[in-house]
Amino acid sequence: MELVSVNKNDNHETCSKCNEMGLDRDEDICANQKKLELETRVNDLTAVKSQLETRVNNLTAEKSQLETRVNHLTAEKSQLETRVNNLTAEKSQLETRVNHLTAEKSQLETRVNDLTAEKSQLQSNFSSSSQNKLQLETRFKVLTAEKSQLQSNFNSLSQKKLDLDTRVNDLTAEKSQLQRNFNSLSQKKMELETRVNDLTAEKSQLQRNFNSLSQKKMELETRVKVLTAEKSQLQSNFNSLSQKNLDLDTRVKDLTAEKIPSRAGLVVVIF
């Protein structure tokens, strides 16, 4: 439209110039001039048309690109809407999870408070148990000392008993006596095993054993005196019984050695 206006102005100026100059031209010349102007104008319009067609093609291409871009944006919009819906669902799930975790947190805090109270109670019980342990250890040491003393007395009397037993000439009677002593000690061992948790009762039992052995010592001393008087009569049998005496002495020593460690083992089990 701008080009057409320019051409019209040029024609008007050309005609005006012809009139002003007073040139006397024929109508053919004017026609040729108009033809040239028209051709020029056609060429200009053709150029304008080409430019417009190019612009239309460019606009068409841009339109296609824009339509493609719109389609892409529409697809992206759908994806984003789907994503938003998914995120909304995830948000709901997370809110539900947060509520559950909040409830669990409250439960855990309650549990922590309960465990703290239990810890305090256990600490108090531990302190009390430690005090009781110290008292029991003190009692244990006292009873151990008393037991050691009684065991020493018992061992001393046992040694004296063995010394007196070696002086007994009636080895057959001595064998029976030792067997009875062995049975008695075995019975006492069983009784001690059933009373390992009561150290005070064991002390009383050892005291009774001590008294019994003292009585037996006195009896054996009396018997030795009687048997000494009979020694001359048993001298003829001494040679035949000497070997038996040696065998019995060996067994008595073995039994005594077995008895004393066994009792010491029982005391260790008790404590």
Among the candidates 77, 102, 121, a domain finishes at 77
Q: Is the pTM of this model over 0.75?
A: no
Query: Which structure tokens are listed for 99?
Result: 């509520």
Q: Is position 38 within any domain?
A: yes
Q: What is the 3-state secondary structure (H, E, C) of 148-199?
A: HHHHHHHHHHHHHHHHHHCCCCCHHHHHHHHHHHHHHHHHHHHHHHHCCCCH
pLDDT of residue 245: 76
| pLDDT the model gives residue 264 | 56
Report if residue 194 sits inside a domain.
Answer: yes
Q: Stretch 195-224: mean pLDDT, rounded?
A: 81
- Distance, in Å, from the CA atom of 265 to the CA atom of 175, rounded to the nearest integer, reads 27
Judge whether residue 21 has pLDDT over 70. no
User: Is residue 69 domain-resident?
Assistant: yes
Last residue in a domain, options 23, 49, 77:
77
Confidence of residue 203 (pLDDT cuts 50, 70, 90): confident
- Is residue 133 one of the residues assigned to a domain? no
Model confidence pLDDT, tens digit, residues 35-81? 888 889 899 999 999 999 998 999 999 999 999 989 999 998 889 98
85: in domain: no
Least confident of 30-39, 81-90, 116-125, 255-264: 255-264
User: 116 in a domain, yes or no?
Assistant: no
Instruction: Give how many domains the chain has, as a whole number.
Output: 2
The percentage of the chain sitting over the pLDDT mark of 70, rounded to a whole number, equals: 80
- Domain holding 11, by residue range, is 2-77
Residue 55 or residue 160, greater confidence: 55
Look at residue 56 in the predicted model and tell me its pLDDT.
Answer: 92
Distances (CA, A) of 190 to 39, 193, 266: 146, 5, 10
Q: Which pLDDT does position 52 carry in this prediction?
A: 93
Give yes or no for residue 170 having a pLDDT over 70: yes
Average pLDDT rounded to a whole number, residues 248-257: 87
pLDDT score of 58: 92
Highest averaged pLDDT of the listed ranges 51-60, 125-134, 165-174: 51-60
Let me know if residue 190 belongs to a domain.
Answer: yes
Assess if residue 207 is contained within a domain: yes
> How far apart, in whole angstroms, are the C-alpha atoms of residue 175 and residue 134?
48
- What pLDDT score was predicted for residue 270? 42
Final residue in a domain of this structure, among 45, 62, 77: 77
> Residue 9's pLDDT is what?
52
How high is the mean pLDDT of the chain? 80
State yes or no: pLDDT of 266 exceeds 70: no
pLDDT-derived band of residue 157, with 50, 70 and 90 as boundaries? confident
